[in-house]
Amino acid sequence: MREFIYRVDAEDRITFVDASWVAFAGENGLPALTAEFVKGTSLWNYISEGATQDYYRNIIKHVRATGRTVVVPFRCDGPECRRFMEMSVAGLDAGALEFRSVLIREEARSKVDLFDPDFPRTEEWLTVCAWCKKVDAAGWVEVEEAMRQLGLSNQARLPRITHGMCPACGGKFETKIRPA
C-alpha cells in the first residue's frame, strides 16, 4: 500500500512532504515539485479551482475546530490508470495539519490523452470533478464516455482541464466526510 504525506502550518504553508509524495508527483508529470520547491509555499498555490478550494477549506476548518481527523475518498487518475485513494487530514500542534493519502487500488485502462499533462491543448476548458474524476459532458460521465460524447478521440489537441465538483460529490459532502 502506497502512502503520501504532506504537512502544512497554521497559515497553510507546506512544511513537509515525504519522499513518496515527491516520487508520486514525478510519476505524474510534475518532476519540478520537489520537497525544496514546495516547502514554504501556500497549499492554495496547488488547489486553484474554487469548488475544490472550498471543499478543502471546509475540511481544514472542521479539523482545526474539532481536533478530529477527517477521512475523504477521492480519485487521482493518470492517463493509463484509475487510482482510488483515501485522504486523512489530522490536526497537529499549533494549528498545523497532516494530509495522508493512501492508494487503495489502481486499475489499468487504455491511455486517455485528456489526462496526459504533455498532450497539446486548445484554449477551451473541460471540467473534471476533483473528487471522482467524472467529466461534465452534458451530464457527469466517466472520461472515456466523455471523450466519445464530445468527439475528442483521435484529436490532435484537447481542451484544457479545470476542476470542479459534480453534483453527486457535492451532495455527499456531509456523508462522505467521516471521522477516522
Identify whether the C-beta of residue 166 lies closer than 8 Å to the C-beta of residue 134: yes
* pLDDT tens by residue, 31-79: 888 889 999 999 999 887 787 888 899 899 999 999 999 998 899 998 9
C-alpha cell at 135: 467529466
Identify whether the C-beta of residue 85 lies closer than 8 Å to the C-beta of residue 104: yes
- Confidence at residue 173, expressed as pLDDT on a 0 to 100 scale: 59
Beta strands, E only, the chain: 3-8, 14-17, 70-75, 81-91, 97-108, 121-129, 135-136, 140-141, 158-164, 178-179
pTM here?
Answer: 0.84
C-alpha cell at 142: 466517466
Torsion 159-163-164-168 (CA) sign: positive
Count of positions (residues) in the chain: 180
Domain extents in the chain: 3-179
Say how far apart CA 2 and CA 25 lie, in whole Å.
13
Give domain 3-179's CATH superfamily: PAS domain (3.30.450.20)
* 123 Rama class: left (phi>0) / alpha (psi -120 to 50) / beta: alpha
* pLDDT tens by residue, 74-99: 999 989 999 999 999 999 999 999 99
Phi and psi at residue 53, in whole multiples of 5°?
-60, -45
* pLDDT tens by residue, 133-157: 999 998 999 999 999 999 998 899 9
